[in-house]
Amino acid sequence: MATANVTAQSDKTSKDTGNLLKTATKTVNWADKVSIRGYMQVRYNRLLETNGQLKCEQCDRSWGKDGGFFIRRMRIIFFGQLSKQVYFYVQPDFASSAGTTGHVAQLRDAYFDVGFDKENEFRLRIGQSKVPYGFENMQSSQNRLPLDRNDALNSAVSNERDLGAFFYWAPTKTRKVFSDLVRDGYKGSGDYGVFAFGAYNGQTANQTERNNSPHLVGRLSYPFSIGNQIIEPGIQAYTGKFVLLSTNSKTKKVASNEYLDQRTAASFIMYPKPFGIAAEYNVGTGPEFNKITDSVENRRLKGGYVTLSYMMKGKHQTLIPFVRYHAYDGGKKHEIDARSYRVKEFEVGAEWQPSKNFELVLMYTISDRRFEDYALQDYRQKGQLLRIQAQMNF
């Protein structure tokens, strides 16, 4: 009888051990590795407005006459490390527009990273993603202090993204610094490597390729510490040929609609610990409307910005006052007739974070914008306005 009990107990132990081994070796479902986050921005731009004709097509289209409460962004992000060497990221925006219809879903990011070593210090990003050109371009709108990106560098890549393949390299220690700067609220750009190089269509996001000449881009940046401060200088450049997206029927242009598109930029970032500086400047050549000849020509361009900020952290709240000046002299290739711009803009504001899930930004803008195409010549608007944005993070 005792022998039978021992045998039964031994069988039970073996069965339990087997179950534990099965549980330990069970394959993890890929869906368990997928995470979801996102943010929503709601704006109102009409307070203290002095000129309803002052508008900005590339930034916030609710500026000016007939503007009202506006959902600037509503994004849900799906991401995850599917395996040791494969990471994916998909981001649709549900606040895009199609003509007069708003709140249309449109793809922003859809890419995967493939690592070449066990630490993924060397990786290749394939799909639609941000082009590694300009710190503020790569910085998420969820983190940026000013409500819109500066005209000077953002005109290089509308919506900051394109379809292509980009190689990134950064040591594991530096990748952690990039991650910490975003996680800890210091307005980082995210991990786009110390060195980046890639090829992309060059027609901007959600546009098909229109020639057989991909754009090439390269970037080098490196964050380092001086005392408590973290400083990140950077240089970047791209080259390619851009095919005009739209022109007036009477506008003169080259037969192929194809224009040389080249830029070089320098960046200097000092993260707000507590005083911060972000400054970038670029020069180059690109298509631009010339009202004297009524034609789109390759012309020189230049411009940049400087943002100063100061981070004040309380026990449960954060307040970041900031000022920014930016200027741009050149064309915007993605707008009709590669519209010609002369922009000077000064902004002063503050971001208040009472919790990690909510942010409020008040920003006063003083703007002087001249923008011209075939149908809109000698058009200059100056004005001032108070802008408000409420942002929810999840």
For position 101, what pLDDT does the model report? 86
Query: 197, 182, 282: which is closest to 232 by C-alpha?
Result: 182
| β-strand partners of 61 | none
What backbone torsions phi and psi does residue 4 show, to the nearest 5 degrees? -65, -40
- For residue range 233-272, list pLDDT tens digits in order: 999 999 999 999 999 999 999 999 999 999 999 999 999 9
Q: What gap in Å lies between CA 308 and CA 323, rounded to an integer? A: 5
Give the residue-averaged pLDDT of 303-310. 98
For position 17, what pLDDT does the model report? 45
- For residue range 38-65, list pLDDT tens digits in order: 999 999 999 999 999 998 888 888 998 9
Query: 328, 7, 388: which is closest to 136 by C-alpha?
Result: 328
- 142 burial level (CB within 10 Å; 0-12, 13-18, 19+): middle
Which residues 6+ apart lie within 8 Å of 9 measured at CB? none
Give the residue-averaged pLDDT of 162-177. 98
For position 153, what pLDDT does the model report? 98
For position 14, what pLDDT does the model report? 47
Domain ranges of the chain: 37-393
Residue 97: pLDDT band (50, 70, 90) is confident
Q: How many CB atoms lie within 10 A of CB 212?
A: 6
Residue 372 predicted with pLDDT over 70: yes
Q: What gap in Å lies between CA 213 and CA 239, rounded to an integer? A: 10
Residue 19: pLDDT band (50, 70, 90) is low
Q: What gap in Å lies between CA 56 and CA 64, rounded to an integer? A: 9
86: left (phi over 0), alpha (psi -120 to 50) or beta: beta
For position 26, what pLDDT does the model report? 59
For position 3, what pLDDT does the model report? 46
Give the residue-averaged pLDDT of 129-140. 98
Give the C-alpha distances (Å, rounded to integers) separating 343 from 73, 299, 339, 387. 24, 16, 12, 19
**Six token digits for residue 199:** 């090829």
Q: How many CB atoms lie within 10 A of CB 39?
A: 19
Which residues 6+ apart lie within 8 Å of 10 measured at CB? none
Cα dihedral 104→105→108→109 (10° resolution)? 180
Percentage of the chain beyond pLDDT 70 is: 93
Residue 21: pLDDT band (50, 70, 90) is very low
Mean pLDDT over the full length of the chain? 93
Q: What is the pTM of this model?
A: 0.90
- For residue range 191-235, list pLDDT tens digits in order: 999 999 999 999 999 999 999 999 999 999 999 999 999 999 999
Amino acid at 357: N
**Six token digits for residue 86:** 């494969």
Q: What gap in Å lies between CA 49 and CA 51, rounded to an integer? A: 6
Contact yes or no for 66/100 (Cβ under 8 A)? no
For position 4, what pLDDT does the model report? 46
Residue 130 predicted with pLDDT over 90: yes
Residue 32: pLDDT band (50, 70, 90) is confident
For domain 37-393, the CATH architecture is: Beta Barrel (2.40)
Contact yes or no for 112/140 (Cβ under 8 A)? no
Contact yes or no for 372/378 (Cβ under 8 A)? yes
What backbone torsions phi and psi does residue 176 show, to the nearest 5 degrees? -65, -40
